[in-house]
Chain A
Amino acid sequence: MTNEMPIGDYLAQGGRLTSPENAPPRYRAELLRLMSSFVDSELAGSAGFAAAINWAPGIRERIAASRITLEKADHAERVLDLMEGFGTDKALYERAHDWAARGPREGHVDPRRQGGDMRLSVFHYPLTGWTDAVVMNVLMGSATLHAVGELAACSYQPLAEVLRGVLPRERRHMELGLEGLERLAATERGAAAASVAYWMPRVAETFGPAGSDRFDRLRAMGLRHTDNETLRQRWRAETAATLSALKLA
């Protein structure tokens, strides 16, 4: 059983890599890029949501916001631990950026990342209050399920496993948001609808451009399977159903 097979062929046929030692240079780079984006987005998401704890109108909401803040940081750490296996200095990485920093509410952040911070562009926009935080959490939460679900099938098995563990908790975060939104849809309809209008295009952008060379490259490595536009449309359909049930769209 000593038959050799080029690693590119192995990956193209659905093979899995299982440790940093297996990863060829380009695979290593793309994988680290994906993991960084996840870590930075979870850290920025957690840091941004921390303020929502004090906006929470009641204890139940306060607990939900605390849990989301806590668990997103935990998810970041789980993936950062995998990056450490590639040489990433974990302690320095955690301090590399101001995760709570946000840009102005209006204006447009280029969805292509700028600088060293890999968070998705949506995490550069500030939340304005409880209703806004709940809406953003529902919309981005369901987008996260599609994006993380996609990566949970990726060819780097340790990441796929970590993300399969993360998925049910991310789903719970979205559901907690949905419970909050159901209450707000009755009492704060106007504000909630305004937040939906604000966040929809910004969340939609996180799926990336419709046609992407990078996607083709990642697909050849088994790191991606479903293209950006397909994921975005699935999310749109799902979100439209949710919002129309709440009469918010």
Chain B
Amino acid sequence: MPRFHPLEVTDIRRETRDAVVLTLRPRAEDAAAFAFTQGQYLTFRRDFDGDELRRSYSICAGLDEGCLRVGIKRVEGGAFSTWANEMLRPGDTLDAMPPQGRFHTPLAPDAARSYLGFAGGSGITPLLSIIKTVLSREPRSSFTLVYANRQTGSIMFREELEDLKNLHLGRLSIVHILESEGQEIDLFTGRIDAEKMDMLFRMWIDADSVDTAFICGPEPMMLTIADSLRRHGLADEQIRFELFASGQPGRAKARAASRVADAAAHACEVSVTLDGTTRTFTMPKDGTFVLDAAIAHHMDAPYSCKAGVCSTCRAKVLEGQVEMEVNHALEDYEVRAGYVLSCQCIPLSDRLVLSYDE
């Protein structure tokens, strides 16, 4: 299982009003583990008042920059991103897992490829890593970036992108689309929708020449763009997506477990929620696993290995107490948040409320 390693924050640069770029340095012995591929992300963890939060942020550095950098945009109400933007200082340490993610295509130094990238807001971070890497490692390839933002002031890496354009003359073109700022050409104002995509393909981009398209942004934008790319003849294999990894709620919820201990009773009333439907049944407290009881009551509960290894049967205990016999798959923070492997759970309390939907 991937492990966390400490990274030292060596620099913090304010990129926009609500985004920072962190430069991070692994310990010498972890350097190999943090060698990354363009477009990958790091998952950080931090304890907020007893709740561990994990958040993933994309690396924005290119392979040839010799450093590890991530961009963090502050999300309204987001505990981690607010903390990183307001409290984090150079010299601090962050716990991170080694780079993950598959938002890239293999590099081919001799290839003359034509790449197309779509970024929405902070979705630029992995694309910046890809753009820098492709421009330096594939000298004959070119990149067209369509970059959507609310307004000029919120454009991350605006200057860096301009510099790249000048450095690699004629190989990087950038189309800025601003939602709430009028520009001279209508095409560049508003949101990316199907009509705008058609215009882009009519006026700026030759769909037939595109080898690979990268999209990173919010869900509706990804759908619109992917749909349009397919309509203009791109195959699924040519379209690479990266959904914002931190699509989860910003704050870890306090767990609602009320612990009712009882030793005398020999049966447990179990309520199990699956796909929005809750079923209640009674099961013996004789060492029978909750998953087996649910299956015996004709619930199509998810499971695979039944050995506490794969985590397919993960569920959340909302009320009551269980004992988990074996756990090789859930991490401590998940267990603290109330998650259990239902194939390994024996009820201890008289009442148990369990959900596969949370």
- Give chain A's interface residues, CB within 8 Å of chain B: 1-5, 7, 10, 13-19, 21-22, 25-26, 28-30, 32-33, 36-37, 40, 83-89, 92-93, 96, 115-116, 118, 153, 157-158, 160-161, 164, 213-214, 217
Contacts and interface: CB of A to CB of B under 8 A. Distances in A.
Interface of B: 1-2, 41, 43, 54, 56, 100-103, 120-121, 123, 148-150, 179, 191, 217-223, 226-227, 236-237, 240-243, 245-248, 274-275, 300, 302-307, 309-314, 316, 328-331, 334, 343, 356-358
Contacts of B311: 32, 86-88
B329 A87 contact: yes
Nearest to A16: B241
B320 to A, nearest CB: 19
A93 B100 contact: no
B357 A1 contact: no
A3 B190 CA distance: 13
B277 to A, nearest CB: 11
Nearest to B311: A87
A3 B244 CA distance: 12
5 tightest A-B CB contacts, nearest first: A116-B306, A29-B302, A36-B304, A1-B120, A32-B312
B223 A84 contact: no
Contacts of B305: 36, 93, 96, 116, 118
A153 to B, nearest CB: 7
A88 B310 contact: yes
A3 B330 CA distance: 32
Contacts of B275: 26, 217
Contacts of B304: 32-33, 36-37, 40, 116, 118
Contacts, number: 147
Given A14-B223, A18-B243, A33 B302 contact: yes
Given A1-B149, A83-B310, A88-B309, 19 more contacts: A4-B218, A10-B220, A14-B223, A16-B243, A17-B243, A18-B241, A18-B243, A19-B41, A19-B100, A33-B304, A85-B2, A87-B334, A88-B310, A88-B329, A89-B328, A89-B329, A96-B305, A157-B241, A161-B102
Contact of A93 (B41, B179, B240, B309): B309
A244 to B, nearest CB: 33
Contacts of A30: 302
Task: Please indicate which of the listed interface residues B300, B309, B311, B316 has the most CB atoms of chain A within 10 Å of its own CB.
Answer: B309
Nearest to A152: B236
Contacts of B306: 115-116
B222 to A, nearest CB: 6
Contacts of B222: 10, 15-16
Contact of A21 (B150, B245, B313, B358): B245
Contact of A116 (B1, B191, B307): B307
Contacts of A93: 305, 309-310
Given A14-B227, A89-B329, A29 B314 contact: yes
A7 B314 contact: no
B331 A1 contact: no
A118 B343 CA distance: 14
B314 A153 contact: no
A21 B1 contact: no
Contact of A13 (B218, B223, B236): B223
Contacts of A84: 1
B102 A25 contact: no
B307 A19 contact: no
Nearest to B316: A25
Nearest to A13: B223
B1 A89 contact: yes
Nearest to B341: A87
A25 B243 contact: no
A217 B191 CA distance: 32
Contacts of A161: 102
Nearest to B103: A18
Nearest to A92: B309
Nearest to A118: B304
Given A1-B150, A87-B329, A214 B302 contact: no
Contacts of A87: 1, 311, 329-331, 334
A107 B250 CA distance: 54
Given A3-B218, A7-B247, A25 B56 contact: no
